Amino acid sequence: MSRLNGFLHGVRVLDLTRHLPGPLAALLLADMGADVLKIEPPDGDGMRDMGPRRADGRSAYFTAVNAGKTTRRMDLKRLDERAAFLDLVRTADVLIESFRPDVMARLGVGYETLKAVNSRLIYCSLNGFGCTGPLSSRAAHDLNYVALAGALPPVGADGSLPDTPLADCAGGLFAALAIVGALHGRARDGRGCHLDLALADAVVPLQILPLAALGAMGAPAAPGEGLLNGGAASYHVYDTADGRRVTLGAIEVKFWRAFCTAAGRPDWEPRRDDPLPQRALIAEVASMFRALTLARCEQRFGPADCCFAPVLELDEAIASAHTRSRGVVHRTADGDLQPLFPAIVDREPPAPRAPVREE
């Protein structure tokens, strides 16, 4: 067991969540050594029927976000099952649930009830719009939360959307962080607490720079006109001669100077501070890249220390020398790909996750 996988050794977690955000939060706790028992309804987590299937017929999505956990099905509407659940709560450190507000209370296992059973319990509610507010009972999914937070990126001309569920992943990360913080606080004062996290809220801190611009100037930069959203030649995505794409992130003077030197265009260097959007300069840089293949771009700009990188497909990314050397993606004997907890502790990479264990 690596040191990372022992950080939360002895911490017992009850995971009553479904789909991605809550299970991701519990997965991260399990990665740090917590003992996670996933409580599913009698018909199972809906994620079991979503996404691509493995060779054994199981959902690859469900397997991915619940590895390293033990699962148990319980019907909390039954008195005997509820009594058994309360026995689990008595010795638990953390409970995570993702129901709409008041569902747990209607089942007879709301926070106040569980607090009376275990005053040290850290109870985390992770749902769409939180436990309070005008939208608290509304149904939604990741796309809705991102849209309502003003963070939806431009949709492709073909209607394509980003493949990474931003709000769900951010919600899981913030929940895990809040839980670890609450465990540290409880170690000082012995008190549990109720954490109320909304997926719609989790997107907001990710917009710290656009919000800073909004506060300072009254409006964020329009798409394609700001420093970080496509308006600067030094921070842009460019096409290559062979149909690939490359990224340039040479915002600082030293990196832009290194890029201009490698490009053989010293005349571009003083134009770094041209007013935004820098459409003329972008067009010139784009023309240069379109004359080069991806391989030629990497040969010229890779060693130049100018914040240059190719745009990789996912299979290329996990096969890259960097990813392989860091050990943050593990292929199981069944062929599953596990993106592991991305922390190397005392030079030791994270250990692979055990399979889901069904009770």
Report long-range pairs for 109-115 (Cβ below 8 Å, ≥24 apart): 109/76, 109/82, 109/85, 111/194, 114/86, 114/89, 115/192, 115/194
- What is the CB-side half-sphere exposure of residue 65 using CA atoms within 13 A? 25
Candidates 31, 93, 168, 201; catalytic one: 168
Q: What region does 40 belong to: left with phi over 0, alpha with psi -120 to 50, or beta?
A: beta
Q: What region does 350 belong to: left with phi over 0, alpha with psi -120 to 50, or beta?
A: beta
Helices and strands, number each (H, E), in the chain: 14, 12
Burial of 154 (0-12, 13-18, 19+ CB in 10 A): exposed
| 322 in catalytic set | no
SS3 6: helix
Candidates 141, 194, 274, 330; catalytic one: 141
| 168 in catalytic set | yes
Catalytic residues: 141, 168
